[in-house]
Amino acid sequence: QHHCSRCEKSFRWFGNLKHHERTNTGEKPYHCFQCENRFSGSGDLKAQERTHTGEKPFQCSQCGKSFTLLANLKRHERIHTGESPYHCSHCGMSFIQSRSLKAHKWTHTEEKPFQCSQCRNIFTLLANLKRHERIHTGEKPHHCSHCGMSFIQSRSLKEHEWTNTGEKPFQCSQCGKSFIVLSNLKRHERIHRGEKPFQCSHCGNSCTQRGHLKEHERIHTGEKPYHCSQCKNRFSIVGDLKAHERTHRGEKLFQCSQCRKTAAAAENTRLLDLGGDSGRQRTLGTARGISPPQSRAGGSESREAPSDSRKSPSGEPDPETSKPAGRHRCSECGKSFTQLGSLKTHKRRHTEEKPYHCCLCGKSFRWLGRDLKAHERIHTGERPYQCSQCGKNFIQLGSLKAHAWTHTGQNPHHCSQCE
């Protein structure tokens, strides 16, 4: 056995010890002649060279997927077999990869031994620190062979390539939903199992994701780490800060496909149809011109519209008014859509599926951007939309607009029967 002088690891082969020691020293003696990237091991160099040649000699017998390295194939096959050979001695959780177990073990000790010299962020793994440092150096060693885009992480490159091909290799065995990233599938599966492994130490509430727990804990601590550079407002969630900043810039990202008017936010971007006397409201879609009419889902609070008003969800085109008709046809009602994603979104109207869940109270929602995010502000107390006249803050942009009419004296809602 060959032992590392810097840690307790031991290796059967001397060459493996040398390769391991380079992770501590940062030495990278192997360099690629095609892109000038350098590597600590010859195997890593071979894998990089295959990205240039497109060679993937190792193929999965179950699904036909090919890999540049045999080790990657072995890891992939565990998805089919369900094998999780790496077990945590503290809680018994099992993992497909040894590095996932290592990262998990730090959650028990809360020790983070690797610190960034630039910004003082700390990490449980050296590899995570190395990846983080690329943010400061601007290094993006992973290049897309199709479009030339570069990425800090190889995982980001893979996800990018799958968005080009439309491939979603990780499928849920319960409902058939597919995902680009394995970790997203794992998170999704917790919904079926009812598993909420992340528990708040203040109140005992549990969440399916660590990020949701962090957001929840800010309710107790009062921490608001995201602050607006233009005013003194602070926010506990970065999405609320971004929505707030758009009100300063007057930025209007979402355009109505009927009248071409624009609005700053997608969660409540409705305009009156002033051309008629019915007072009906038209739905604004994304800048692509998609108009997604959809009734409110999951009971997200709002007082700014009648119950039959239609809103456009954020980032998820409901293709009811998409045009022209496309090649993806709904088996329930026969409607056609240009994009497969639009068809899937439309089908929620038939299935009543509400895939987005609040980790605090369990309420379910059809739309992520509009309904769930607006609902979460009830728990956090966040009110990102501020009136420029009196400084009053609101949870939703529509509430701010309705309030603004009290200053202008404008009353845009007219009864078609009387004056």
- Write the pLDDT tens digit of every residue in 190-219: 888 888 888 888 888 888 888 888 888 887
CA-based max dimension of the chain = 92
The single-letter code of the amino acid at 92 is: G
Omega within 30 of 0 (cis) for the link into 317:
no
In this prediction, residue 280 has a pLDDT band, given cuts at 50, 70 and 90, of very low
DSSP one-letter code for 160: H
Predicted pLDDT at 320: 43
- Specify the DSSP class assigned to residue 13: S
Look up the pTM and report it. Answer: 0.35
Name residues whose C-beta falls within 8 Å of residue 392's C-beta, 6 or more positions apart in sequence: 386, 403
**Residue 8 CA from chain centroid, whole number:** 37
C-alpha–C-alpha distance, residues 41 and 49, integer Å: 13
- Distance from C-alpha of 357 to C-alpha of 251, rounded to nearest angstrom: 29
Q: Judge whether residue 363 has pLDDT over 80.
A: no
Q: What local confidence, expressed as pLDDT, does residue 398 receive? A: 79
Can you read off the two tokens belonging to residue 204? Answer: 């005992």
The closest alpha carbon to 246, from 418, 397, 21, belongs to 397
* pLDDT computed for residue 313 by the predictor: 39
Q: In this structure, what are the phi and psi dihedrals at residue 398, rounded to the nearest 5 degrees?
A: -60, -35
Per-residue model confidence (pLDDT) at position 368 = 66
pLDDT of residue 43: 80
Comparison of pLDDT for 288 and 69, the residue scoring more: 69
pLDDT at 294: 36
pLDDT band at 152 (very low <50, low <70, confident <90, very high): confident
Asked if the peptide bond before residue 324 counts as cis, ω within 30 degrees of 0, the response is yes
Q: How large is the angle between the packed helices 210-221 and 373-380, nearest 10 degrees?
A: 30
- Positive or negative torsion for Cα 119, 125, 126, 129: negative
Let me know: does 385 contact 247? Beta carbons within 8 Å: yes
- What rounded mean pLDDT belongs to the chain? 73
153-167, 284-298, 304-318, range with the lowest pLDDT:
284-298
Amino acid of residue 184: N
8 A C-beta contact, residue 14 and residue 2: yes
pLDDT of residue 188: 86
Select from 272, 268, 270, 291 the least CA-distant residue to 375: 268
Residue 314 CA to residue 263 CA, distance in Å, equals 12
Query: What's the average model confidence in pLDDT over 369-381?
Result: 76
Q: Which of 395, 398, 368, 375 is nearest to 384 (CA)?
A: 395
pLDDT, tens digit, 9 for 90 and up, residues 289-303: 222 333 333 333 333
d(CA 107, CA 293): 44
Task: Kindly state the average pLDDT of the residues 270-275.
Answer: 33
315 has a pLDDT exceeding 70: no
Do the beta carbons of residue 330 and residue 346 sit within 8 Å? yes
Examine the pLDDT at 284 and tell me if it is beyond 50.
no
In DSSP notation, 62-94 reads TT--EESSHHHHHHHHHHHH----EE-TTT--E
8 A C-beta contact, residue 262 and residue 254: yes
pLDDT at 325: 45
Query: Which of 55-64, 221-230, 342-351 has the least mean pLDDT?
Result: 342-351
Measured between alpha carbons, how far apart are the two ends of the chain, in Å? 91
Q: Could you tell me which of 404, 269, 392, 216 has the C-alpha nearest to residue 383?
A: 392
pLDDT at 135: 82
Q: What is the pLDDT of residue 44?
A: 82
> 3-class DSSP state for residue 12?
coil
pLDDT of residue 370: 64
In this prediction, residue 310 carries a pLDDT of 36
Residue 302: the pLDDT is 34
Which DSSP letter does residue 307 get?
T
